Structure 1
Amino acid sequence: MDQTRTTDSVDQYILKLTADIQHIAAALRKIILSSSPNLVEEYKWSMPNYTYKGLVCYLQASKKHVNLV
């Protein structure tokens, strides 16, 4: 994954998750960032957000799943 497109705050968010949920969130993050070089990763509203001329999607982790919205 391109380290210049990721943020430390999202790294920290993922590291605080349980191991199985970390795996899912990290995989989704990789898919999202690889889908377009124009997407920008941000951490707002207490979750990872991906924007390009506005909000495209965000990840919301729970105890047993991760929502990709």
Structure 2
Amino acid sequence: MPLASALSQPRPLALLDVLARAVAQLRQARAQHRAYVALMAEFDRMTDADWFDLGLSRHNARDLARHTVYGR
């Protein structure tokens, strides 16, 4: 095999690299979920007057929390 074709082929990832990435993604997802749950709990503690002062509606709490935590 010529050197040029050997360099262009991707090297296979080691199993430990794949597992490390999966664990990191799981930890990130769990941290995001905890942040989402904490934000929703804080929203639940807010009064209607608090929502009005912010110019927001309680009906948009889930969308606001999702956008804040996950960026979607």
Settle same-fold status: TM greater than 0.5.
no
TM-score range, shorter chain: 0.3 to 0.5
More helix by share: 2
Which of the two has higher C-alpha Rg?
A: 2
* TM-score after normalising by structure 2: 0.33
* TM-score after normalising by structure 1: 0.34
More strand by share: 1
